[in-house]
C-alpha cells in the first residue's frame, strides 16, 4: 500500500475506525472481520532501522560499525563462510530486540589465491606448466625468480626431448635425465634440475595480508613426455590464519571480540 492509498483509507475510515499506537506504530483498527493496517509509511521517519549492509573491505566495515554501534551491539564470525556480522540492535539479557540493523563483511578471495588454488594438485603438460609459472612469477619468492625463468627457458628448448628418469639430489632439488636424437645414430643427453618445492607469497583475500605458502613440486614422465603438478601445503591453515587476522583486527578496532558462530 502506497501513501496515497493509506491516506484515503484513513480519511474514509475515520468515523468507523480508531487509530492506536502499537509499540509506537500508528495503526488503524477497523471493525470485526478486518485486519489491522500499519501506517508506518505515513510517519516522517521510520521508528527503527531495518537494513543490513554488506562490505567487501575491513576498513569500510569497521567505519560503519564505529558510526552505528550502541548499547548491546554484537559481532559474530562464521569462519566456515568467512563472514563477519555486526548486529547493532541485538538482544539484551531478559530484553529481546528486533535485530533488524546489521552489517556484514565478507572478504573477497584474491585473484592470485584463486588461481593457485584452482590448479592445485592438477597435472599440467610441460608447455602449460611453463606458461603458468611465467604468468605467476611475481608470487614465487623461492627459488629466486631468475632461477625459475632460467628453468623455464631450458624447458622451452626441450620440445622434442625424451625424458628418461629423475632422482633427488642432496640439496633437495630433482635431477631429470633427458635424451634427444637429432641425427641418425647421433644422440644428445643431459640433465635438468628442478626444485622440489616452491615458496609463494600470496594474499588469500583482496587487500589482505600476504602469507608465505609452500608448495611441493612434482613431475611425471610418461612415454618420454614430462608433466608437472604442485601441491599447496596446508592451504586451509593459511585461510584460517587470515581469518584469525581479521578477528584480531575487529577486536582491536572495536573492543568487541567477535563471537564464533555458525550463521
Q: What is the pLDDT of residues 181-230, one digit of tens each?
A: 766 666 777 888 889 899 999 999 999 999 999 999 998 888 888 899 99
- pTM given for the model: 0.78
Residues 116, 230, single domain; the answer is yes
Give domain status of residue 258, yes or no: no
Cβ atoms of 55 and 62 closer than 8 Å: no
Do 116 and 160 reside in the same domain of the chain?
yes
Q: Look at residue 196 and tell me if it is in a domain.
A: yes
What is the percent of the chain where pLDDT is above 90?
54
Q: Cα dist. 36→13, 47, 74, 220 in Å?
A: 12, 18, 34, 74
What's the number of domains the chain is made of? 3
DSSP 92: B
**3-state SS class at 121:** coil
For residue 259, the tally of other CB atoms under 10 A from its CB is 10
Is residue 96 a contact partner of residue 46, using CB atoms and an 8 Å limit?
no
Q: In this predicted model, what pLDDT tens digit does every residue of 129-166 receive, in sequence order?
A: 999 999 999 999 999 888 888 888 888 877 778 888 77
Confidence band for 35, pLDDT divided at 50, 70 and 90: low
For residues 99 and 203, membership in a common domain is answered with no
Judgement on whether residues 142 and 230 belong to the same structural domain of the protein = yes
Residue whose cell numbers read 592438477 = 122
Same domain, 224 and 119: yes
Residue 13, domain extent: 1-47
Amino acid at each position: 500500500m502506497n501513501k496515497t492509498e493509506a491516506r484515503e483509507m484513513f480519511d474514509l475510515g475515520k468515523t468507523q475506525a480508531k487509530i492506536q499506537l502499537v509499540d509506537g506504530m500508528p495503526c488503524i483498527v477497523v471493525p470485526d472481520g478486518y485486519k489491522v493496517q500499519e501506517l508506518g509509511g505515513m510517519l516522517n521517519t521510520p521508528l527503527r532501522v531495518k537494513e543490513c549492509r554488506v562490505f567487501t573491505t575491513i576498513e569500510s566495515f569497521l567505519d560503519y560499525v564505529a558510526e552505528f554501534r550502541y548499547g548491546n551491539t554484537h559481532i559474530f564470525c562464521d569462519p566456515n563462510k568467512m563472514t563477519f556480522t555486526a548486529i547493532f540492535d541485538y538482544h539484551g539479557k531478559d530484553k529481546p530486540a528486533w535485530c533488524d540493523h546489521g552489517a556484514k563483511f565478507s572478504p573477497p578471495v584474491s585473484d592470485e589465491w584463486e588461481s593457485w588454488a584452482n590448479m592445485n594438485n592438477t597435472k599440467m603438460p610441460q608447455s602449460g606448466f611453463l606458461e603458468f609459472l611465467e604468468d605467476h612469477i611475481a608470487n614465487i619468492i623461492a627459488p629466486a625468480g631468475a632461477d625459475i625463468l632460467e628453468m623455464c627457458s631450458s624447458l622451452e628448448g626441450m620440445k622434442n626431448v625424451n625424458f628418461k628418469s629423475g632422482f633427488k639430489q642432496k640439496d633437495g632439488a630433482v635431477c631429470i635425465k633427458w635424451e634427444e636424437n637429432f641425427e641418425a645414430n647421433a644422440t644428445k643427453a643431459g640433465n635438468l634440475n628442478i626444485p622440489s618445492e616452491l615458496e609463494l607469497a600470496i594474499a588469500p583475500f583482496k587487500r589482505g595480508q600476504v602469507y608465505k605458502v609452500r608448495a611441493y613440486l612434482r613431475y611425471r614422465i610418461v612415454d618420454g613426455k614430462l608433466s608437472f603438478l604442485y601441491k599447496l601445503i596446508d592451504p586451509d591453515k593459511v585461510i584460517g590464519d587470515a581469518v584469525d587476522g581479521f578477528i584480531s583486527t575487529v577486536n582491536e578496532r572495536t573492543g568487541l571480540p567477535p563471537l564464533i558462530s555458525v550463521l
